[in-house]
Amino acid sequence: MKRGDTFWGLLLLILAVLPLVPGILASSFTQHVMILILLFAAMAQAWNILGGYCGQTSFGHSVFFGIGAYGAGMAVVTYHLAPWPGVILGALLAALVAMAISYPCFKLSGHYFAIATFAIVEIFNRLFMVWYWVGGALGLDYPLVDEGWRNFMWYEDKRFYYYGALILFTIVFGTVRWIESHRLGYYMRAVREGQEAAESLGVDSTRVKLAAIAISAFLTALCGAFFVQYNLRVDPSMVMSLDMSMKFVLITILGGLGTLAGPLLGAAVLIPLQEYSRALWGGLGGGVDLIVFGLLIVVVVVRQPKGIMGILNAIGRRRHR
């Protein structure tokens, strides 16, 4: 078998085993960690569409994440509905907002584009802080409703949240896999490698980047909707913050930009480090996970800019030789 066939075979095996995890891992905390790994892997993969495949480094994805979270939250808290209409409307609104605010930003490039996305996060954070309709700085607290898939809410059993995270993970990763082999994926990589060269070959770079950020924002908003259903509350500092935006970027960089498995590998390192350090040290361990993660990022960027996937590929090439 070719190396590529072996990789996809292992990936399919992992996906086949994942639904069995809740039955194997009886610990509620371990299930919680697995849910967060799948959620943050999906979030980072959604960012990877724009930042990894299209080469546009954005620090503003927490805005789209927050719009998706507020869409589901307002459906439940404000309008007393099931979250599903809010999930769809929030994802569509996030895609529209992404295209509206990105069109002028795409006139910039490199560091200037990244700085502009920083400003967008702060603007939306302050707007939602004072916007009474969405709860302002206090946010939205969920009421007690019936458990089940209709309301996508459970109070004691995390298994169903795990299956929901697995479905979301499969949707996001399946979409990116489709993009990789589709013409849009080739256009995005061409823009990443050289926008002027791609345009000289007839690629409409603006349209490609707008399509990339619309898809990326839509999937990011779905992750935000899951996040609020899992936490049962939302406020601007939880979802629309630079801290949340940085997690999108750093997880992908650690795992490997522009690769399918990179976000999953990055999340599999960061999330257990984050959750188990809090569990072990409590309040005394606050920030230890970020220190260790920061050191890992420095080492990876210096030694292997392509992240964990670059390290694995280098080992594979050595073994092949």
Q: How far is Cα 262 from Cα 264, in angstroms, rounded to an integer?
A: 5
Rg (CA), the chain: 20
Residue type, 279: A
The whole-number pLDDT of residue 128 equals 94
CB 301 within 8 A of CB 290: no
Question: In the prediction, which pLDDT does 1 show?
Answer: 43
**3-class DSSP assignment, residue 153:** strand
Would you call 9 exposed, middle or buried from its count of C-beta atoms within 10 A (0-12, 13-18, 19+)?
exposed
Q: What is the pLDDT of residue 155?
A: 86
For residue 3, give Cα distances in angstroms to 12, 305, 317: 14, 22, 10
How is residue 129 written in tokens?
């802080």
Question: Could you tell me which residues come within 8 angstroms of residue 39 by beta carbon, excluding any fewer than 6 positions away?
Answer: 165, 168, 169, 223, 226, 227, 230
User: Cβ contacts of residue 260 below 8 Å, gap of 6+?
Assistant: 45, 173, 176, 177, 180
- pTM of the predicted structure, to 2 decimals: 0.90
Each residue's pLDDT expressed in tens, for the chain with a length of 321 residues: 444 555 556 666 666 666 666 666 667 888 888 899 999 999 999 999 999 999 898 898 999 999 999 999 999 999 999 999 999 999 999 999 999 998 888 887 777 888 888 889 999 999 999 999 999 989 999 998 889 999 999 988 888 898 899 899 989 998 999 998 899 999 999 999 988 889 888 889 889 999 999 999 999 999 999 999 999 999 999 999 888 888 888 899 989 898 988 999 899 888 888 888 877 776 555 567 677 777 877 887 777 778 888 888 878 778 777
Full set of structural domains in the chain with CATH: 3-320 (1.10.3470)
Q: Decide: 25 and 31 in contact? Cβ < 8 Å.
A: yes
